A = this chain, B = another copy of it.
Amino acid sequence: MSNEQVTAGLVVIGDEILSGRTKDVNIGATAEFCTDLGIELQEVRVVSDDMDAIVEAVNALRARYSYVFTTGGIGPTHDDITADAVARAFGVDLPIHPVAREMLMSRWKDLEVTPARLRMARIPEGAELVTNAVSAAPGFWIGNVIVMAGVPVIMRAMLESVAPRLKGGRKVLSAAVDAAVGEGDLGDPLAALQDEFPDVKMGSYPQMGQGQVRTQLVLRSTDAERLAAATARVEAMVAAVQHKRDIGQSRKEKQ
């Protein structure tokens, strides 16, 4: 743990996400993973299986964030072009990696070594392999870019495998305050408290469909004391707003 802010971007690659055929779950998993490590995921881009689109997204994000994760497009078929695109983004060749080839062939045993299968052993020059417990096909890590599979269970195994080598940032602590009133009643006093605690990020989330209006307020900070101070103030503010609302209701009932 350092005091440095560590950031990340994520590029999700695949036509099937953009067509709606497959529902992405890798964004949520990567987001949780980053938060747990104190890494701030700041941007996600979902792009199609298109060379230019992948190269542009990878280059934009790797210039901007400490780490860039990519998911998808490293399988054996013609539309799996992530390795090609990342090699192009870094301006390096994409040879068959002897260790990756070995890993794949030892898993396949009796399977025929087709050119399609060997596509998965092509690794950009200078990259390190990212192995995983689920599949023999490795991802890779080049510069600050970590290239992972799109299949969620394999993607998560690859995240676990790189976790010990990622530098973590300041751990972000959070607190939640539940309010039995709507966002509209909380917005102004919450904005005032946010101004007072610029180092504690305050978010507000309406809870829909529970029969009554409720709002959850979430506070996040890297400073435990400031978080506690801000949370106490938010709790007091919520109590005051609820009280005001109750008085208004009892007056109406008496009329």
* Chain A residues with a Cβ under 8 A of chain B: 12, 15-25, 27-35, 40-49, 53, 75-79, 108, 110-112, 114-117, 119-120, 151, 153, 172, 182-188, 190-191, 194, 201-206, 208-209, 218, 220, 252
Do B15 and A114 touch (CB < 8 A)? no
Do A20 and B43 touch (CB < 8 A)? no
Given A23-B28, A184-B117, do A48 and B42 touch, yes or no (CB 8 Å)? Answer: yes
Given A44-B46, A77-B183, A183-B76, do A16 and B188 touch, yes or no (CB 8 Å)? Answer: no
Please name the 5 residue pairs, one residue from A and one from B, whose CB atoms are nearest each other, closest first: A116-B187, A20-B31, A20-B32, A78-B191, A44-B46
User: Which of B18, B19, B119, B205 interacts with A16 by CB under 8 Å?
Assistant: B205
Do A252 and B42 touch (CB < 8 A)? no
Say how many copies of this protein the assembly contains: 2
Do A187 and B45 touch (CB < 8 A)? no
10 further A-B pairs in the complex, CB-CB below 8 A; given A18-B43, A45-B45, A116-B187 = A18-B31, A18-B44, A19-B35, A20-B29, A22-B205, A23-B28, A27-B46, A44-B45, A114-B184, A115-B187
